[in-house]
Chains A and B, each alone.
Chain A
Amino acid sequence: GQQLNQSPQSMFIQEGEDVSMNCTSSSIFNTWLWYKQDPGEGPVLLIALYKAGELTSNGRLTAQFGTTRKDSFLNISASIPSDVGIYFCAGQRETSGSRLTFGEGTQLTVNP
């Protein structure tokens, strides 16, 4: 089935550092989304990207929709302890109404 390759699988950083993670796919998606999941909770939407080349920010988070429509990255600047969690990218064929295909997730640990 559809595969999204997300890297890195885990990151251990110091508070205040910047973080970057990315997702790549062998096929095209028309929507890329980034979610954060805390233990025992559902994924929470961080950023949604709908247009190739689009660069969108949400506070300290910045994400880009790759121009080939086969990749996306997420940057977190000046990390804080509450950034700890699992970050998932997700691709969607249509702009809405269709299934999400998730990456394997990036486990982020922030040391105070």
Chain B
Amino acid sequence: AAGVIQSPRHLIKEKRETATLKCYPIPRHDTVYWYQQGPGQDPQFLISFYEKMQSDKGSIPDRFSAQQFSDYHSELNMSSLELGDSALYFCASSLSRKYGNQPQHFGDGTRLSIL
């Protein structure tokens, strides 16, 4: 079965640069979520979208923005990158609650390294 696709898998940037992470949800899934996982940490929720509208916002820095497009894929845009932004960034997708109980399924993440 098709899974959540994230690209790129690895990204190396320098401080103050920008980065764009992409997420392609499981086909028919209309809700996407972004999480950040530091080394040895659990994933922390950043932001989510349903039907192209932001549905929830967590601990996402103002330097980051995200959007969901009409084909339901999502992009996380990160600017003025800092050393502390080095982490694994996961996207998850699910069907919305109107379809009943729907768990989130995760992609394999983008490993972002800031030099």
Contacts and interface: CB of A to CB of B under 8 A. Distances in A.
A94 B105 contact: no
Contact of A42 (B42, B102, B106): B106
Residue picked from B42, B45, B94, B102, most chain A C-beta under 10 Å: B42
Task: Tell me the dominant secondary structure on chain A's binding face.
Answer: loop
Chain B interface size, as a band, is: 20 to 34
Interface in A57-112: 88, 94-105
Contacts of B59: 1
A100 B101 contact: no
Given A99-B33, A100-B43, A100-B45, A44 B97 contact: no
A98 B50 CA distance: 10
Contacts of B107: 42
B97 A95 contact: yes
A97 B104 CA distance: 9
Given A42-B109, A50-B101, A99 B90 contact: no
A96 B43 contact: no
Interface of A: 1, 31, 33, 35, 40-45, 48, 50, 88, 94-105
